Amino acid sequence: MSNKAKGSKAERELLDILTQNGWRAARVAGSGVNDNSPCDLFAAKMGKRGFVIEAKSSKKSNIYITKEQISDFVLFSQMIGLSPAIALRFNREGWFFINPNQLKDTGKHFAVSLETARNEGKRFGQFFE
């Protein structure tokens, strides 16, 4: 399975989790393919603040995201008035959720480790409810 297919599968999995928990959510067509799609999902729920979500998954213990991608993502969230959320899925660990400011600056990229996700990230119910 290609990295793109794995990413799409992870996004669909997260979409299912959101909808099963009463959120209305949609995947963004072409996310990760071109510069015109600065997020992977939108999610909203009555009585809750809406989110734009960037989903990342990895079988490794670190996830790297370019600074430009995070900058565009955060700017987009500010422009449309939704909260930005980074969704992280490590193999056999499930989903963790963090704010973009929790990413570590490594110079060229932002990064988050599995250890940081475990210690500082929140699970679905903690982050969205």
Cα distance from N-terminal residue to C-terminal residue, the chain? 33
Cβ atoms of 42 and 30 closer than 8 Å: no
Residues annotated as catalytic (active site), given as ranges? 31
Cβ atoms of 128 and 83 closer than 8 Å: no
